[in-house]
Amino acid sequence: MSKPAAGQPAPAPAPLEPPHLRVDGQVLARMRTLSAHAPQSLVIEGGATADREAAALAWASLLNCEGVGERPCGACESCRQITQGVFLDLKCFGREDKVLVEDVRASLPEWGQPPRGKGRRVSIFFSAHEFHPAVANLLLKTLEEPRPGNVFVLLAPQRERLLQTLVSRSFTLTLPWPEGKAAESDAAEWITALLNFWDSGQGWFERTGTKGAADRALALRILSGLQHELIQALACGGGPAGGSVAQRLARLGRPGLRRLDLVLAQAQEALTQPTAPVALVLDWLATAVIAKGPKAAPAPRHYAS
């Protein structure tokens, strides 16, 4: 072990910020009310990834804080251990890697036991929208049995990305949707063309077929602009506050928006592959959203291989 050089003391670790300090006040108040009869499973959607994580940890603090205030105190043993990630009644899944079905199975005996402390054992699934179906099904079975003292938290950008049966067994808490960034003018023009294509079936392939029409960077801006409008459409249901693109998107209805969400995720993934032809990915995006029924177009990575 090498000592720090004289005159250079090792820097003290930065104090961790208690998670509840990063959570919207209204959301915290809502969780406070919920905590009186904590649902066995809580879905947290909306917000950015960091917002959902902070809310989940704040939920764990609320259910385990030894203080008596309206908010987690941030100072008791439970609060401090949760902040430091060493609390024995807090289990985290999928924070860095995908959740493995073996990990969930290995936790079944523990979930059959009451928590070690006086509060609740909180099991957080950080990217529940990326669950392998086997994980989702095992978790579903787990939720079907009473698990005294145990609560589960599923984090996802939108509840539509989760297995419907998981959502129906859970209470859903929606965080304020992130403002995001509206599309810049070049991407916005493409998005309008895409909406027109969905209305009329015309004018899209002429665009993508032009040599050098859209490069990867522009395609990614189109996708992120669409994502922004999708969130507006989901948040306001296409009401007057939704802006014209969001209002037009809202006409796809909830199932259509859900499909768009999945298609955007797949298109984004496809564009990370250097071999994916940008025009083909954009064409797939345009057609996959309006494809109906089980014969929806295959994901664009099939084109790329």
Q: Which of 34, 38, 76, 182 binds Zn ion (CB under 5 A)?
A: 76
* Residue of 225, 259, 232 whose CA lies nearest to 247: 232
> Which residue lies nearer to Zn ion by CB, 71 or 228?
71
Closest approach of Zn ion to the CB of residue 121, in Å: 16
Nearer to Zn ion, 41 or 64 (CB): 64
- Gap between the Cα atoms of 139 and 281, Å rounded: 34
Is residue 219 part of the contact set for Zn ion (CB under 5 A)? no
Binding mask 7-46 for Zn ion (x = CB under 5 A): ----------------------------------------
* 173 counts as binding Zn ion under rule CB under 5 A: no
Whole-angstrom Cα distance, residue 282 to residue 245? 18
- The beta-carbon contacts of 296-302 under 8 Å, at least 24 apart in sequence, are 296/259, 299/266, 299/270, 300/266, 300/267, 300/270, 300/276, 301/266, 301/269, 301/270, 301/273, 301/276
Q: Does 63 bind Zn ion (CB under 5 A)?
A: no
| Phi, psi angles (nearest 5°) of residue 134 | -65, -35
Sketch the per residue contact string, 77 through 106, with Zn ion: x for CB under 5 A, - otherwise.
--x---------------------------
What minimum distance in Å lies between the beta carbon of 61 and Zn ion?
6
Contact residue for Zn ion among 39, 67, 117, 180 (CB under 5 A): 67
**Is 65 near Zn ion (CB under 5 A)?**
yes
- Residue 71 or residue 259: which is nearer to Zn ion going by CB? 71
Q: Tell me how crowded residue 29 is: count the other CB atoms within 10 A of its CB.
A: 13
Shortest CB 285 distance to Zn ion, Å: 47
Q: How far is CA 175 from CA 14, 55, 99, 260, in A?
A: 28, 9, 23, 21
* Dist CA 297 CA 291 (whole Å): 7
- For Zn ion, which is the closer residue by CB, 28 or 162? 28
Residues that bind Zn ion (CB under 5 A): 65, 67, 72-73, 76, 79
